[in-house]
Amino acid sequence: MIYVENKDLVIPGQILADDEYYSGRGTFKENGKVCSSLMGLVSLRNKKLRVIPLKSKYVPKKGDVVIGKINDVRFSMWDVDINSPYSGILPAFEVFGREKKELNKVYDVGDVLFLRVVDVDEIKKAKLGLKGRGMGKFKGGIIVDIAPTKVPRLIGKKGSMINMIKDKTNCKIVVGQNGLVWVKGDEDMEQLTKNIIHLIEAEAHTSGLTNKIKNKLYLAIDGELPPEEVEEAEEEFVLEKPKLQNFKEELEQEEKEAEEKKKNEDKPDIAKVIEELKKKNKSKKDNSLSYDDNSNNSFILNNK
Amino acid sequence: MMSEFIRKDGRKFDELRPIKIEAGVLERADGSAYLEVGGNKILVAVYGPRESYIRRLLEPNTGVIRCRYNMAPFSVDDRKRPGPDRRSSEISKITADALRPALMLENYPRSMIDIYIEVIEAEGGTRCAGITAASVALVDAGVPMKDIVVGCAAGKVNDEIVLDLSEYEDKEGQADVPIAMMPRTGEITLLQSDGDLTEEEFEKAINLAMEGCLEVNKLQKEALMKKYSTE
Amino acid sequence: MDIVPEITRQSITNLVKNDKREDGRELTEYRDISIETNVISKAEGSARVKLGGTQVIVGIKPQLGSPFPDTPDLGVLMTNCEMLPMADPNFEPGPPSDDSIELARVVDRGIRESELVELDKLCVEEGKHVWMLFIDLHIIDNCGNLFDACELAVMAALKSTKLPVATIVDEEVVLSEDETFDLPINNELALCTFVKIGDKMVIDPTLDEERVASARLNVGVTKDGHICSMQKGGKQPLEKEDILYCVHTAVEKVKELIEHL
């Protein structure tokens, strides 16, 4: 027996279904009932119930890409605020190997970086690194802060939302999975983009959002509505997991490449390297956000 | 006999004072709620789970909560000196104890949740109202919970067991039994009692308070749904 | 500790350089202001002010007490501020911080020096009994510029304050149960707060603007355009031209603010 429908808004303690259903993220089982532990939207797939939270704090996960702020410079590492209950560290060797340099000459307190979570220890402390395209210190632009659970909505189906904003505003946009977004472009466009992002955050759980945002963008920039409507197929529900397999594949490929590169570091195979470079160029897109399909609505519950 | 009894403010023995709950009322806090019940006005803010530098409070396997119940100097008839006193410290502690059983913080080891309960105006029953509002603020903050804890009191006035004592009834009455519970399972997470009650009266009081909790719980849910449901 | 990201500092500074702000306001424009009075029925005077996202509640409680020996026929004003930890993740519970004390004193100075509360009318019996007004500032949401929000709230709360009529019967003070009088007030005032970003002065700063600002200036001006209090804050100096500009702007701006009361 199930008491809710897919996409229903539920609250903590609410009974969702009886024993024959499986308890996924955002739910728990007690006395033979599957219950919600969060305020969020029900996602039902193959008898597995999950609740996708409307709000939650970012908990670092290996492989995530995040935006962080240098909070302190220490002897051999930087302390990084990653908008989470858990701070990150960026060890010096992740940045310049064994070379000795003065850390604060490279990144100083207040600098904002695009980083990858290399590892997370048992107390959730995140070890950060800069391996990956586009990683490193941001120069200029602004930082926009949104709820991490709204990140998939900002990106949209196959990046539809974020690409639309980028195209229309001519801004560079980088989205961290920890809910921080970097925007750089024309001064006025930066502010417009910030407002648009906040609008998406506020209305993430409403339908018809892509069209609404498109209209807003065109009105603000061209002073008139867009010539044609976005196809309804683009319209996708709220916090539903966006299908971003291509990003995931890219990410995996990138990691594989990195690994292979590492393996072959001692005896580099020129042909292979060239081939890899070719491959890389082929898939050269804006890879500012490499999205792991499973991590979208990553609430911490199955994450022990 | 009991159903005939009408209270000083015109309520029936099992009638709550008018309640208003609103979720998400502050900008800076991670979660917040505002609650009015009778003449009480209560504001709650939740921060966290967040990193804490108070190491002695942290636990390696789970997140911890810290609660601060505070009364505004202008919340009572005679101005209250600002800052904590013995009463507010005790209420802070039992409020944290009342909320803790519902929280699922195993996935936030070594983190801290701060709950700030601010009594803007007091008119009897602030501790229960504080718990009720704090639960809504916790949900609003996205903290995982097994249930939404809710508080309500029953008591004895003029030898009658009545629900949700007003300030006058609290002062003039013979007993006060504030409780908090998790509505889904009916487990009690806060219980105090002061005054004179027979065993039978106590049972009546706790049953009445539990019924009151279920009523208030409906309003908590409504407030949350109202804040977040699609127009 | 709260470190401002370097790029936030740069972007705000660049905006201000071009006479723009992150929320689209002009350099001399206030955020939306809303004022409600009589929000606390147990307080003799109260107000809640929202200034953009900033929210404060002010409650006024009177108490009978002894006057100061040097002013035996004058009532007493006491302003106290609690920067509640609920208002900002960086506010800590505990005794008032230096910032909180400064805020209370700056707000108090405007009220006191403008002499808008007729303290002589708060004397019940000279040398023995006077009204002491406790003005409690409760900061519940800090999104920048607490000064102006608090001063508006205090002004609104004072205007809403009603005190019980006190008479002396057989050398005892007797308070009337139902008869009250309005707190005697003969003027109005508002505070205008500016911060310096780059080489420009910006009115009603947001939190981020406050955090990147080099200096602050509060200017208290009465309804009739008299300057009654000022305070310079922040780590860096101000130039005379900055100060004169702020004073001039404040005198104009206060008229607008007082209309909200």
Cross-chain Cβ contact C40/B114 below 8 Å:
no
Interface A-B: count of C-beta contacts within 8 A: 94
Q: For each of chain C's 261 residues, which pLDDT tens digit applies?
A: 578 999 999 999 999 999 999 999 999 999 999 999 999 999 999 999 999 999 999 999 999 999 999 999 999 999 999 999 999 999 999 999 999 999 999 999 999 999 999 999 999 999 999 999 999 999 999 999 999 999 999 999 999 999 999 999 988 899 998 999 999 999 999 999 999 999 999 999 999 999 999 999 999 999 999 999 999 999 999 999 999 999 999 999 999 999 999
Chains touching chain A, criterion 3+ CB pairs below 8 Å: B, C
Give per-residue pLDDT as tens, B32-62.
Answer: 999 999 999 999 999 999 988 788 888 888 9
Give domain status of residue A180, yes or no: yes
A133 shares a domain with A163: no
Mean pLDDT (chain B) is 94
Pull the structure tokens for residue B149.
Answer: 């804890």
Q: Do B82 and C57 touch (CB under 8 A)?
A: no
Question: Which of chain B's residues have a Cβ under 8 Å away from the Cβ of A12?
Answer: 102, 139, 144-148
Q: How far away is chain A from the Cα of C46, in angstroms, using its nearest Cα?
A: 32
Select the residue of C1, C7, C24 nearest A142 (Cβ to Cβ). Answer: C7
pLDDT at residue C113, as a whole number: 93
Residue B153's identity, in one-letter code, is A
What lies within 8 Å, CB to CB, of A29 at 6+ separation is: A19, A23, A35
Per the omega criterion (within 30 degrees of 0), is the bond before C184 cis? no
Taking the CA of residue B46 and the nearest CA in chain A, the distance in Å comes to: 13
> Looking at beta carbons, which residues of chain B come within 8 Å of C78?
none
Provide the sign of the torsion angle of the four alpha carbons A38, A40, A44, A50, taken in this order: negative
By the 10 Å C-beta count (0-12 exposed, 13-18 middle, 19+ buried), B226 is classed as exposed
Residue A60 lies in a domain: no
Gap from C86 CA to chain A (nearest CA, Å): 18
Amino acid at A95: V
Is residue A222 in a domain? Answer: yes
Q: What's the pLDDT at A131?
A: 87
Mutate to test the interface with C, among A81, A142, A198 (most CBs of C within 10 A): A142
Q: Do both A183 and A207 map to the same domain?
A: yes
Is-contact C87 C56, C-beta < 8 A? no
Does the beta carbon of B197 lie under 8 angstroms from any beta carbon of chain A?
no
**pLDDT top residue among B134 and B229:** B134
Select from C3, C11, C18 the Cβ nearest to the Cβ of A142.
C11
Same domain, A153 and A238: yes
Say if the Cβ atoms of C7 and A139 lie within 8 Å: yes
Residue C46, beta-bridge partner list: C59
Q: Do C55 and B82 touch (CB under 8 A)?
A: no
Three-state SS across chain B?
A: CHHHCECCCCCECCCCCCEEEEECCCCCCCEEEEEEECCEEEEEEEEEEEECCCHHHCCCCCCEEEEEEEECCCCCCCCCCCCCCHHHHHHHHHHHHHHHHHECCCCCCCEEEEEEEEEEECCCCHHHHHHHHHHHHHHHCCCCECCCCEEEEEEEECCEEEECCCHHHHHHCCEEEEEEEECCCCEEEEECCEECCCHHHHHHHHHHHHHHHHHHHHHHHHHHHHHHCCC
Q: What's the CATH code of the domain at A101?
A: 2.40.50.140
Q: For CA atoms A48, A53, A56, A61, give the dihedral sign.
A: positive
Contact A198, A204 (CB under 8 A): no
Are residues A146 and A242 both part of a single domain?
A: yes
**pLDDT for A157:** 85
Structural tokens at position A281: 């160029």
- Taking only Cα atoms into account, the Rg of chain C, rounded to an integer number of angstroms, comes to 20
User: Are the CB atoms for B145 and B221 separated by under 8 Å?
Assistant: no
CB-based burial of residue B79 (10 Å sphere; 0-12 exposed, 13-18 middle, 19+ buried)? buried
| Neighbour subunits, B (≥3 Cβ pairs < 8 A) | A, C
Cα distance between residue C34 and residue B94, in whole Å: 36
DSSP conformation class of A148 = G
Per-residue model confidence (pLDDT) at position A255: 55
The domain of A124 spans: 65-137
Contact C147, C107 (CB under 8 A): yes
- Of residues A263 and B2, more confidence is placed in A263
Does residue A303 fall inside a structural domain? no
What was the pLDDT predicted at A303? Answer: 28
Residue among B50, B73, B121 minimizing CB distance to C41: B121
Which chain A residues are Cβ-neighbours of B224 within 8 angstroms? 11, 39
- C partners (3+ CB pairs within 8 A) are A, B
Cα C185 from Cα C121, distance rounded (Å): 10
Domain count, chain A: 3
Task: Work out how many CB contacts closer than 8 A connect A with C.
Answer: 44
**C-alpha distances out from residue A214 to A107, A147, A197, B192, C205, Å:** 38, 21, 12, 57, 32
Whether residue A189 sits in one domain with residue A164: yes
Which tokens is C9 given?
Answer: 């500092």
Interface of A with B (CB under 8 A): 9, 11-13, 15, 26, 28, 30-31, 35, 37-39, 53-57, 59, 85-87, 122-124, 149, 205-207, 299-301, 303-304
Backbone angles phi, psi at B95, to 5 degrees: -70, -45
Q: Are A115 and A195 found together in one domain?
A: no
Across the interface, whether the CB atoms of C7 and A112 are under 8 A apart is answered yes
Neighbours of B174 (CB within 10 A): 16
Q: Residue A168's domain is classified under what CATH number?
A: 3.30.1370.10
Q: How far apart are CA A128 and CA C233, in angstroms?
A: 39
| Alpha carbons A296 and A8: distance in angstroms, whole number | 19
Residue A116 and residue A129 in one domain? yes
**Res B97: pLDDT:** 97
Question: Do residues A218 and A152 share a domain?
Answer: yes
Say if residue A146 is in the same domain as residue A219.
Answer: yes
Note whether C59 contacts B74, CB cutoff 8 Å: yes
State the Cα torsion A77-A78-A81-A84 to the nearest 10°. Answer: -10
C211 touches chain A (CB under 8 A): no
- Between the CA atoms of A67, A73, A76 and A82, what dihedral angle is there, to the nearest 10 degrees? -20
* Assigned domain for A258 exists: no
Q: Which residues of A touch C (CB under 8 A)?
A: 69-71, 81, 108-112, 138-143, 182, 187-188, 190-191, 194
pLDDT tens digits, one per residue of B52-108: 878 888 888 899 999 999 999 999 999 999 989 999 999 999 999 999 999 999 989
Report the candidate in C36, C85, C30 with the shortest Cα–Cα distance to residue C57: C36
Of C59, C60, C141, the CB nearest to B28: C141
Report the 10 Å Cβ neighbour count for C68. Answer: 10
**Which positions in chain A touch B107 (Cβ < 8 Å)?**
59, 300-301, 303-304
ipTM surpasses cut 0.90: yes
Of B5, B10, B1, B2, the residue nearest B166 (C-alpha):
B10
B51/A contact by beta carbon, under 8 A: yes
Look up tokens 């809504």; give the residue. B136
Whether residue B139 contacts residue A90, with contact meaning beta carbons closer than 8 Å, is answered with: no
Judge whether A262 lies within some domain. no
Which residues of chain C neighbour B26 with C-beta distances below 8 Å? Answer: 55, 86-87, 140-141
The CA-atom distances, in angstroms, between C194 and each of A219, C211, C233 are 34, 13, 10
Residues of C in contact with B68 (CB under 8 A): 85, 93
Q: Which residues of chain A have pLDDT under 70?
A: 228-304
- HSE-CB at B181 with a 13 A cutoff on CA atoms is 23
Instruction: Identify whether residues A130 and A149 lie together within a single domain.
Output: no
- Cβ separation C11–A138 shorter than 8 A: no
Q: Per-residue b/e over A206-235, b at no fewer than 16 CB within 10 Å? A: eeebbbebbebbeeeeeeeeeeeebeeebe
> Could you say which of A106, A137, A168 is where a domain stops?
A137
Residue A164 backbone phi and psi in degrees, to 5: -60, -45
B114 touching A (Cβ < 8 Å): no
| Residue in chain C nearest B121 by alpha carbon | C40
Residue B27, pLDDT above cutoff 50 = yes
Identify which of A28, A63, A17, A50 has the alpha carbon closest to the alpha carbon of residue A239. A50
We report the CATH number of the domain holding residue A22 as: 2.40.50.100
Q: CA B125 to CA B176: how far, in whole Å? A: 9
Q: Are residues A109 and A150 in the same domain?
A: no
Given this model, what pLDDT does residue A236 score? Answer: 41
- Phi and psi at A54, nearest 5°, equal -75, -35
pLDDT of residue A304: 25
Spatial distance between the Cα atoms of A61 and C247, rounded to a whole number of angstroms? 53
Instruction: Give the residue from A234, A223, A165 showing the smallest Cα distance to A198.
Output: A165
Question: Do the chains contact at C138 and B72, CB–CB below 8 Å?
Answer: yes
Say whether residue C57 is in contact with chain B using an 8 A CB cutoff. yes
Cross-chain residue pair A140–C9, CB shorter than 8 Å: no
From A108, A137, A166, the end of a domain falls on A137
Which of A201, A221, A247 is where one domain is finished?
A247
Q: What pLDDT was estimated at residue B21?
A: 97
User: C2 and chain B: CB distance < 8 Å anywhere?
Assistant: no
Tell me, yes or no, whether A103 and A119 share the same domain.
Answer: yes
Secondary structure of residue A301 in the 3-state scheme: helix
**From B29, B84, B121, residue closest to C42, measured CB to CB:** B121
3-class state of residue C217 by DSSP: strand
Residue A254 lies in a domain: no
pTM beyond 0.90, yes or no: no
Residue C20: phi, psi to the nearest 5? -120, 165
Structure-block tokens of residue B10:
């015109």
Instruction: Indicate the residue type of B228.
Output: Y
Position A288 in a domain: no
